[in-house]
Amino acid sequence: MDAQFKKGLLDACVLSVLSKEESYGYKIISDLKDIIEISESTLYPILKRLEAGGFLTTFTRQYGGRLRKYYAITRSGRHKLVDCEEDWREMRGVYQKIFEDENIFK
């Protein structure tokens, strides 16, 4: 998949995971592994960018004698998810037209 195209998709994927419940790094990767190819190194900048944009927030919680960092979606993050859904519908419509309709450019 194209890197730039994938970048937008990954944002939506991460926000979608967090919209269900708070999560942590390893779990996010585990949840997305079956949907899209994503590595630990790739996830870090996505989380950083979404946090900088105010779409998610972080906090730590005690877990097994250590502090684990958790991520939670914000209201802005939910709005962004809605925007991503609309973008996806629009894109799907375009892709359908250009790839499924053979007569479109005739």
Partner 1 sequence: MKKSEFEARLLEGLETLSLDTLSDAEKEKIIDYYTELYLDKAETGMSEDEIVAEWGSPRDAAIKVLSDGADDDREEAKQTAKADKKRFKAKSGEAKRLAKKAAKEAKADKKRFKAESGEAKRLAKKAAKEAKADKKRFKAESREAKRRGGATKEDASKTRNEAKDSADGGGSANKNIKINQKQGGKKMFRNKTFWTVYFSGFIITFPLTAALFGAAVGIASAAIAVVVAFLAVAVSFILGGAALTVFGVYYAFISFNDGVLAVGSGIVLFGLGLLFYAIVSLPAKALRAGKNKKTNA
What does the binding site for partner 1 look like in residue numbers (CB under 8 A)? 3-4, 6-7, 10-11, 24-27, 37-46, 49, 64, 66, 68-69
Q: Which of 5, 23, 4 lies closest to 14 in space, CA to CA?
A: 23
Q: Are 70 and 61 in contact (CB under 8 A)?
A: yes
- Shortest separation between residue 93's beta carbon and partner 1, angstroms: 24
Nearer of residues 27 and 78 to partner 1, judged by Cβ: 27
Question: What three-state secondary structure class fits 106?
Answer: coil
For the CB of residue 81, give the shortest distance to partner 1 in the complex, in Å: 17
